[in-house]
Structure 1
Amino acid sequence: MEFAEFIKTPQVDNVILRRPFRKPVEGTLCVMGHHLILSSRQTNKEELVLLHSNVDSVEKRLVGSGGTLYLHCKDFSILQLEIPSAEDCLNIGSSIEQLSNIDDTSIKYPFFFRANFEVMEDGWQAFLPENEISRFKECADEWRLSYINKDYKVCPSYPHAVVVPKTIDDETLLKVAQFRQHGRFPVLSYYHRDSKAVLLRSSQPLTGTNGRRCKDDERLVNSVLGIGRRGYIVDTRTYSAAKAAQSKGGGYELEAHYPQWKRIHQPIERRQVFQESLIKLIEACADTSATTDKWLSKLESSNWLSHVKDILTCACLVAQCIDKDAASVLIHGADGHDTTLQVTSLVQVILDHDCRTFTGFEALIEREWLQAGHHFGMRCAKSAFAFTKNRQESPVFLLFLDCVWQIWQQFPCSFEFSEEFLITICEHAYSSQFGTFLCNNEMERKELKLSSKTVSLWSYLNRPEVLERYLNPLYDPNPAVIWPTVAPQSLELWPGMYQRSYLDKSKKREKWTEIAKICEYDKELRSKVNKLRRQLASLEREALSAGVIIPVGLDTDMNE
């Protein structure tokens, strides 16, 4: 495919770019194969470099002899381009629409991007299952790494290696995979060092209307419990939805066959509902003329914060079972690669302080989303502005990040990274020069050889000069479990994500810069005080050894 066939007007002069909270810029607009570039006429500087893949929808308005393009982006920003000629306006709008909807992954920009920085650490190799299993070294006697899926034939959406009980051989795993939806048999997601309980994830069992059972599945699930210990199976569907799934061949675990497990239904809406909710939310944010009552009504009717509450509630329930009750948990919905991953990820953010650091959070996304087979290619193909017939798109990952932000808001000192770090990851999930979030699973990424043909996002982010931009100045390492509240008054709309085109964030950035300076000054001051304390203590020891009497009142207390 040649990109040139989509570009009828490659360059236009005297185009005016308007963006919220920034001065208009006049310049030359160029339509490239992957980018839209506008260079200023005054400074000859590139004022806009926009990936076509970031454009969700294009709105064209013709006025007189010219026209205006409104580019609604997947990151919820809105750009306005005033073009002198109506014909050029229509041509460029048509080009952007076609170039932003190319389905062939192999010709997307990450395959053409060449890093203009030194790659210090290959992000593709940073979080392999073989490396991550070291996190579970405390239970190495009970769990092992299985390569039964090395050719992706057992489960196309699983990685090449998974952690399973040592007592279960690969032949048994093969039988269990045939009993679970899409072959997603139960695997280890997290081991809690304090309580010795584990978190498993899978897809629904294929019990059907006849109550089919699989003794190998029962043996695998029961093998993670010790003698006399009980566990919980948390189903993210309502009981009626799980019951209805039986008529389609799915279903749930019958407690008669899993006597050590108690089944709990903690419902979370399905992905289709999430997409409709996001569209309503962004429409509400765009209505800047709404009264307070109307705004609150629109926000409530979108149900977005209700979804956030449901996901957090489920995650807190699972975390409580693991930490307080020392009970192992198996979690699944239907397919196991959407709401299941939201919950397993958030449980680890709550329980494991390592997941609240830069590399720990990146490893979490790799383990629980990329390697676990979340369909980024389909779910993030479109955002809130595009009305398409393809019903596969859904803000599942965005909702997870929103939940993390809610916890971040409640525990601002417990996260090493800032709000901007979460926003940046979300932006790259929808549109990026890096290959990390391309495709739907590890198998597809291997087929397209992403690790050798594209650059990993983690290779870019994990450079010290980049991480410094996202450092939370209030961070104070907290090894304890953190328990977020899900009370309605505790949950907020994320303005930095959804209202970036309507709220000026410059003042907030200035305040965070001031906070960072104060924290840095405080660190320097503490360092100097500690140095003086050490010097004074040394002088005291020398004086005492020399027999010198120290005057009363002279001590090392320098807190004032």
Structure 2
Amino acid sequence: MIFQGITHHCLEPKSLRNLFAFSFCEQNKMKRQQRTMMFESLDDWAQDMGRLRGACRLVAENAEFDLSPNLPQFFIVPSNVSEADLNPFQGHGLPMWCWSHHSGCALFKTSSLPVTLLQEDPAAQAYMEKMLTAVAHNYLFSVKTEDLSDTLPSVPDLQLAYNKFKHFFLIENTTDFWVSDVKWLSSLDSCGWLDIIRQCLQKAMEVVECLEKENANVLIMEEGGSDLCCVISSLAQLMLDPFYRTLPGFQSLIQKEWVAGGHRFLDRCNQLHLKDKEKVSPVFLLFLECVMVLVWQYGPSFQFTETYLTVLSDSLHVPVFSTFLFNSQHHRHTFIQAESPHAPCNVLRCPVAWDWSVQFDCKAQELFINPLYTEKNRMQRASQRSQLHKHQRQLSLPSSGFKLSPKRGFFKDEADSLKKILRVKRLSRWMLSPDPTSSSSREFYQAWQGRPLDYHGLILPCVDGPWLRLWMQRYLRWVQEVQIFGGGLVTVLSQVYGLLEEVRGLRRELDHRGGVPGARLQRTRVSGGETLTRGGTPTPGSLVRLSSSFPFSALRSNSSYKPSIPNSQLHGLGPSGELEEGAQDLDDPESVV
């Protein structure tokens, strides 16, 4: 069959224009209810800024990458940044707009200038002061900056911690599993990966606090501006903006902050398996891990599921999608033009990762949608708009004693005072503490907890130890010893899917009463739970027994699962009587719940 497939694709001229594995994708197109913005045109940037009512300037001077290959084709900067300010330092130090709060303040990110250059070049110092002034002018003349290179682990440190972390999941046999299980939790804690997740969530909460509580513009920076800046800015927007918690919104966020933002996917994922290991780091995976914490704690806020994030993390390492195959937009355009400079009809066409019909059929894509997610109705949206103006007026008060001047030329008259304020706020770093949260952030979190919970409003994660857990579906889906056959979260979700299908059926019956009756729903029994289907056909299949790692693994009803523990390990773990009883329970597959 493999030989016939290769022969078919080699002999058919039309198929040579496409990638081998995706010639069938046109047959399984799934209709999208909402478009994923790719941020490759001015319209997408203008639409996103218009949705957030941002008061910034859209830049199109880099459409042909004349300004800098490190910058995207189109981007947004503060209104006070002139055309002359775009050319110096190849885009370094230029504040890039990320998101605007409804009060008027905004979140920006930038790739910082080298410290040696700032110390030795007065022009660099003047340029940075000018950019900070432009950011401060965006709203209330206040800005807080944060150099993520000083407060978060470096990119090599991420790779080091992840290498230690993933070592605990490379299990070859049952004996190795039970040996590692003795010190499983302490080993996970010692590698530091979960602590890095906590630090990133904590830093994103501090950014949210500055935007939501202090109404200050925030400028985050790092050396490249495309690694930790992408992580923190994306997490802050997820906490603040419910649009990015929808499936198309989340994909648009990745396109804006990561793909257009110039994250070096090719180097960080090591798609070419080069020897330069210093560039390899799981930065994007770290972001998905943080998103998983938000999904666990606030499931009804997200339209997508854990299965979707797991599939997305797998697609990151499939080197055929243009989404995760290049280091920047300039790299992508340069590569495509180099492949076919004189034959535009034969331009290399790589599929985007968001076209899930390339990999999965419609039935599989249904597992990406969270059945507990409910979209706001029109009445709720209207009431939210009516309350927004009052809230905006309350938040528009300055958080400090610094007042606006009614005179023109404010920056000229108050230049010295403004520089002093900016310098003080720049040097006053956010508090670092070994505790899960700082005192200021904890007060902000507790005050937010006192409000009624709104799944479509601001959400803040709890970053204390017990609330951070392992992403089991991704890391343990192939380890049989930890599977819960016939149980786990998948059983609960299957029941929820069944109830939703029954409600939809009843609604169809009510809509068609007096006319053509709707499709009759029949109850069928399947192993692992009761499922509601149309026409009496079970969805998972009557011979498949669901497991906690569904849909990535399942157990046939005629198979047996019998984990074994070496006797030497049994006697070393604890009292022999309790362990012998536990071993007898493990020998019985029906006792594994």
TM normalised by structure 2 equals 0.60
Alpha-carbon deviations, 1:236-283, whole Å to 9, x = none? 122xxxxxxxxxxxxxxxxxxxxxxxxxxxx11111111222221121
Shift of 1:500: 1.9
Contact 1:110 1:435 in 2 (8 A): no
Aligned to 2:63: 150
Alpha-carbon deviations, 1:526-556, whole Å to 9, x = none? 8889999xxxxxxxxxxxxxxxxxxxxxxxx
Aligned to 1:496: 473
Shift of 1:150: 2.1
Aligned to 1:470: 368
Match of 1:517 among 478, 493, 498: 498
Alpha-carbon deviations, 1:22-65, whole Å to 9, x = none? xxxxxx987999xxxxxxxxxxxxxxxxxxxxxxxxxxxxxxxx
Shift of 1:129: 4.6
Aligned to 1:221: 132
Query: CA 1:111/1:275 → structure 2, altered by over 3 Å: closer, same or farther?
Result: farther
Query: CA 1:139/1:273 → structure 2, altered by over 3 Å: closer, same or farther?
Result: closer
In structure 2, C-alpha distance between the alignment counterparts of 1:30 and 1:506, rounded to whole Å: 37
Aligned to 1:439: 326
Aligned-partner SS, 1:453: coil
| Structure 1, 119-128 or 488-497: larger mean CA deviation | 119-128
What is the total number of aligned residue pairs between the two structures? Answer: 398
Looking at secondary structure, tell me which structure has more strand per residue: 1
Contact 1:129 1:162 in 2 (8 A): no
In structure 2, C-alpha distance between the alignment counterparts of 1:189 and 1:31, rounded to whole Å: 49
Alpha-carbon deviations, 1:124-154, whole Å to 9, x = none? 9744352132122267683221123223243
Query: CA 1:530/1:351 → structure 2, altered by over 3 Å: closer, same or farther?
Result: farther
**Are residue 185 (structure 1) and residue 98 (structure 2) matched?**
no
Looking at secondary structure, tell me which structure has more helix per residue: 2
Contact 1:149 1:155 in 2 (8 A): yes
Shift of 1:162: 0.7
Query: CA 1:300/1:29 → structure 2, altered by over 3 Å: closer, same or farther?
Result: farther
Aligned-partner SS, 1:201: strand
In structure 2, C-alpha distance between the alignment counterparts of 1:382 and 1:185, rounded to whole Å: 30
Query: CA 1:139/1:167 → structure 2, altered by over 3 Å: closer, same or farther?
Result: farther
| Structure 1, 121-130 or 424-433: larger mean CA deviation | 121-130
| Structure 1, 416-425 or 126-135: larger mean CA deviation | 126-135
In structure 2, C-alpha distance between the alignment counterparts of 1:160 and 1:387, rounded to whole Å: 28
**Are residue 135 (structure 1) and residue 52 (structure 2) matched?**
no
Match of 1:161 among 62, 70, 74: 74
Q: Counterparts in 2 of 1:129-528, with a 5 A limit?
A: 129-130=41-42, 131-137=44-50, 142-175=55-88, 177-178=89-90, 183=92, 185-193=94-102, 195-208=103-116, 209-210=119-120, 212=122, 213-226=124-137, 228-238=140-150, 267-285=151-169, 286=171, 287-290=176-179, 292-381=181-270, 390-449=277-336, 453-460=349-356, 467-477=365-375, 478-502=455-479, 503-504=482-483, 507=486, 508=488, 509-522=490-503
Aligned to 2:526: none
Shift of 1:466: 5.8
Question: Amino acid of the residue matched to residue 110 of structure 2?
Answer: S
Query: CA 1:473/1:197 → structure 2, altered by over 3 Å: closer, same or farther?
Result: same
Shift of 1:169: 2.0
Query: Could you list the runs of 5+ residues in structure 1 that have no partner in the other structure?
Result: 1-27, 34-106, 239-266, 533-560
Contact 2:148 2:221 in 1 (8 A): yes
Aligned-partner SS, 1:202: strand
Shift of 1:525: 5.7
Aligned-partner SS, 1:329: strand
In structure 2, C-alpha distance between the alignment counterparts of 1:276 and 1:108, rounded to whole Å: 40
Shift of 1:524: 5.4
Aligned to 1:254: none
Question: Amino acid of the residue matched to residue 135 of structure 1?
Answer: D
In structure 1, C-alpha distance between the alignment counterparts of 2:353 and 2:257, rounded to whole Å: 17
Shift of 1:108: 13
Question: Amino acid of the residue matched to residue 472 of structure 1?
Answer: N
Alpha-carbon deviations, 1:195-220, whole Å to 9, x = none? 22101011112342437444343223
Shift of 1:412: 0.8
Alpha-carbon deviations, 1:417-467, whole Å to 9, x = none? 110111111111111543221111111111233985122222335996664
Contact 2:61 2:67 in 1 (8 A): yes
Query: CA 1:184/1:210 → structure 2, altered by over 3 Å: closer, same or farther?
Result: closer
Alpha-carbon deviations, 1:326-373, whole Å to 9, x = none? 111000122111111100010011000001001000000000001111
| Structure 1, 319-328 or 224-233: larger mean CA deviation | 224-233
Contact 2:159 2:282 in 1 (8 A): yes
In structure 2, C-alpha distance between the alignment counterparts of 1:414 and 1:288, rounded to whole Å: 36
Shift of 1:233: 0.3
Aligned to 1:116: 25
In structure 2, C-alpha distance between the alignment counterparts of 1:109 and 1:276, rounded to whole Å: 38
Contact 1:149 1:160 in 2 (8 A): yes
Query: CA 1:501/1:203 → structure 2, altered by over 3 Å: closer, same or farther?
Result: same
Contact 2:356 2:365 in 1 (8 A): no
Query: CA 1:454/1:505 → structure 2, altered by over 3 Å: closer, same or farther?
Result: farther
Alpha-carbon deviations, 1:350-398, whole Å to 9, x = none? 0000010010000000000011111111111269xx9965221111000
In structure 2, C-alpha distance between the alignment counterparts of 1:469 and 1:418, rounded to whole Å: 7
Aligned to 1:19: none
Alpha-carbon deviations, 1:267-300, whole Å to 9, x = none? 1111111122222112123351236551122111
In structure 2, C-alpha distance between the alignment counterparts of 1:126 and 1:111, rounded to whole Å: 25
Query: CA 1:229/1:275 → structure 2, altered by over 3 Å: closer, same or farther?
Result: same
Aligned to 1:61: none
In structure 2, C-alpha distance between the alignment counterparts of 1:360 and 1:436, rounded to whole Å: 16
In structure 1, C-alpha distance between the alignment counterparts of 2:180 and 2:52, rounded to whole Å: 57
Contact 2:54 2:104 in 1 (8 A): no
Query: Could you list the runs of 5+ residues in structure 2 that have no partner in the other structure?
Result: 7-15, 338-346, 376-454, 514-593
Shift of 1:109: 9.0
Query: CA 1:371/1:31 → structure 2, altered by over 3 Å: closer, same or farther?
Result: farther
